[in-house]
Amino acid sequence: MTRALILGGTADASLLAAEIARAHIDAVYSYGGRTRAPADQPLPTRIGGFGGVSGLVDYIRCEGITHVIDATHPFAAEMSRHVVEASAETGTPLIALERAPWTRAPGDNWIEVHDVDAAVAALPEATAKVFLAIGRQHIAPFAAKPQHAYTLRFVDPPEAPLPFAADVIVSRGPFTLDSELEMMRTRGITWIVARNSGGDGAHAKIDAARMLGLPVIMIARPKLPERLRVESVGEIMQWLGHRACLGA
């Protein structure tokens, strides 16, 4: 009997959950608990950390999990490392659902860096209007360049004071090219800092930056241990021994 655990929190994970529910496969969807009102899923859902690798090992054993699917964000490296270790320890098959990273298109003006500190260093010294498209956990290092006017965008309003004054947009994606162009034009954005998430949902800001001729500091994905990785829901369904109904 199959009983799958989906580590979720991405648009692709939601597509997968819909397909697994449609196929009547027994599964649990897991959220990390980063957003206050995560999207409802058509599967039994749990929210919050497992308590490290040992907690995840216990969960897999106690819940009788037979297949683990890592559909977390490509920058959720800690969770992905834990899953690799826990699946090895329990002998549970693991697959990752992860879109390929974005690559430069003609006209893109990217400065590629390996981490947030390098992104801070890559910003100019002269005052700029910077759109920081990177998750609230990572903004603190930008306080080192207080000369810039920062625009931030979060799914939920910030609960704690921010490490520096900023223009905060509270909105949940995906965003369209037109809305990204308008946001950047009305705020006079001159630089963008983004993470190479891949996929379509977050790409409109990159297209908008190209159209406006703006430089993008692109933070590369963290390195993860080797694991089986596919890019589509259909491939996950095949791995589970089912045919996908969607063209996903």
Contact status, residue 120 vs residue 132, Cβ threshold 8 Å = no
d(CA 65, CA 5): 6
- Burial annotation 185-201 (CB, 10 A radius, 16+ → b, else e): eeeebbbbbbbbbbbee
Q: Which of 28, 69, 82, 208 binds ligand NAP (CB under 6 A)?
A: 82
Burial class of residue 14, CB neighbours in 10 A (0-12, 13-18, 19+): buried
* Shortest Å, Cβ 209 to ligand NAP: 18
Residues 197-226 that bind ligand NAP (CB under 6 A): none
Nearer to ligand NAP, 219 or 237 (CB): 219
Angle separating helix axes 52-62 and 77-90, nearest 10 degrees:
50
Contact status, residue 31 vs residue 45, Cβ threshold 8 Å = yes
Q: Which of 40, 44, 49, 54 binds ligand NAP (CB under 6 A)?
A: 49
Give the pairing type, strands 129-133 and 67-70.
unpaired
34 in contact with ligand NAP (CB under 6 A): yes
* Shortest Å, Cβ 174 to ligand NAP: 10
44 in contact with ligand NAP (CB under 6 A): no
Q: Which of 40, 44, 52, 241 binds ligand NAP (CB under 6 A)?
A: 52
Q: Which helix (H) or strand (E) holds 200?
A: none
d(CA 202, CA 195): 10
Contact status, residue 23 vs residue 248, Cβ threshold 8 Å = no
Nearer to ligand NAP, 187 or 221 (CB): 221
Residue nearest to ligand NAP (CB): 49
Q: Which of 5, 28, 68, 76 binds ligand NAP (CB under 6 A)?
A: 76
Q: Which of 93, 135, 141, 163 binds ligand NAP (CB under 6 A)?
A: 135
156 in contact with ligand NAP (CB under 6 A): no
Question: What does the binding site for ligand NAP look like in residue numbers (CB under 6 A)?
Answer: 7-10, 30-32, 34, 49-52, 55-56, 72-73, 75-79, 82, 135, 137-138
